Structure 1
């Protein structure tokens, strides 16, 4: 017997009030069909997309790709795996870019990544702190990347006085303990596609059950981490509807309520 056909995201017929809070549509994974992908997002109920530029060079290369799409806003930051590239010139360049472009809504993704071990931990931490200071100077929210580094990332944020500052924990994949600590600090949490996975997502699903609705956002991190039933395929913003569907099941709430609430949270967080 052949496998059943995967449902398309348009089939959920959601209103255009959702927000994909973290997408990488400037990457070359989308060069052949970027406009089609953006159109499918809208048709599936994604009213706004926040595109991530991984540093000032990526921003300068890619911003024009979205000139005809006011429904796409930007964040920009130097990723921890590139932390050794953050010098005085890069910080100055970023400062001017943020001041010049109102579509740049936050500093990120920034933080720590101890999984790949590409950059020494002390270099990552120094770059993280410099970009936190830039965000505070510019009164912009920060979007955190943390992989195998949660304790250090939280401790740096706390030590730098970022309790009750607009902080979004991107691509949350941990359990209840970390979720409760983030919420206690007044921060927001973004839920990615792996919450839909049938295996190895029990801790994440338990955390989602406890995260207050007013702190919860949705993201794809596309082209990575496609949710079920599209796991293993290229991710794109339209597929965030399946992440929302699983969150709604976990929360015991109507799908459209979760879709709208998470979208409203993103609009407030990013001042969209």
Structure 2
């Protein structure tokens, strides 16, 4: 079938999901949404997304962009220094983060923080130092960390180092969310054994990600969240297009197929899990 004769992609409204889903990880303050942020938020709610976690990549982004969501109490916040920006972690930056968390009840977690070995130009030692400092801040504030862990293809060095550091910092048995989980069943088991939650992104729907689908099949529903990580990582059938919270329903549908459940069941369960994890009030 030629491209011009392909059927149109189904819209997220066709999933007919009830209001109650949660996109646990989004970057709606990025310039990708400057032209239509309000429309994106309205569409998310129309598609059943009750809450969205917006992730601010550092205190400067938080201070600059928080106002985008003044009229949207359904948006809760995460704040952290991404491992790719580890060189920006200074005592002054950490102090600014602490002040933000202490003054803003909409900030619910320290993240995304962790290790990223995909690119060569981010020294691992500096990433570890930044990760450790923010884990200490999360403990001080009594808030959960949301972990970013990315490896090179066919490697799990970052995963192993993350586990080593988290064990050393006493994170096992404490509330923690593994953002954008893309590993296999063995990695999922290692995280579950430590009492943590896993957030599943759109790539679970990609044809070549059978190992991730096998992992999802084995993860108890009560430990799962779903996310867009928008504007990145759109699920099928919107792969390659800008991601946005309304599309998280397709991730729920894929997880449901893998687990032999209805999309509505996965939608409401992962929404409830997110509300409990982030200590969110109903909205």
TM-score category of the 2 structures, normalised to the smaller one? over 0.9
User: Number of residue pairs matched?
Assistant: 271
Gaps of 5+ in 2: 152-157
Matched position secondary structure for 1:150? helix
Q: CA deviation at 1:255?
A: 1.1
Q: CA deviation at 1:46?
A: 0.4
Say whether 1:87 aligns with 2:96.
no
Say whether 1:186 aligns with 2:195.
yes
Q: CA deviation at 1:242?
A: 0.3
Say whether 1:216 aligns with 2:217.
no
Show the counterpart of 2:211: 203
Show the counterpart of 1:167: 176
Say whether 1:243 aligns with 2:251.
yes
Choose the corresponding residue for 1:260, options 268, 272, 282: 268
Q: Which moved more, 1:117-126 or 1:238-247?
A: 117-126
Matches of 1:204 and 1:242 in 2, distance apart? 16
Say whether 1:67 aligns with 2:70.
yes
Q: CA deviation at 1:50?
A: 0.2
Q: CA deviation at 1:254?
A: 1.2
Show the counterpart of 1:150: 159
Matches of 1:241 and 1:89 in 2, distance apart? 39
Q: CA deviation at 1:212?
A: 0.8
Runs of 4+ in 1 over 6 A off after TM superposition: none
1:116-139 CA-to-partner distances (Å, cap 9, x unmatched) read 123210010010000000000000
Matched position secondary structure for 2:146? strand
Matches of 1:119 and 1:251 in 2, distance apart? 37
Show the counterpart of 1:96: 99
Matched position secondary structure for 1:5? coil
Gaps of 5+ in 1: none
Show the counterpart of 1:78: 81
User: TM-score normalised to the size of structure 1?
Assistant: 0.99
Show the counterpart of 1:138: 141
Matched position secondary structure for 1:267? helix
User: TM-score normalised to the size of structure 2?
Assistant: 0.95
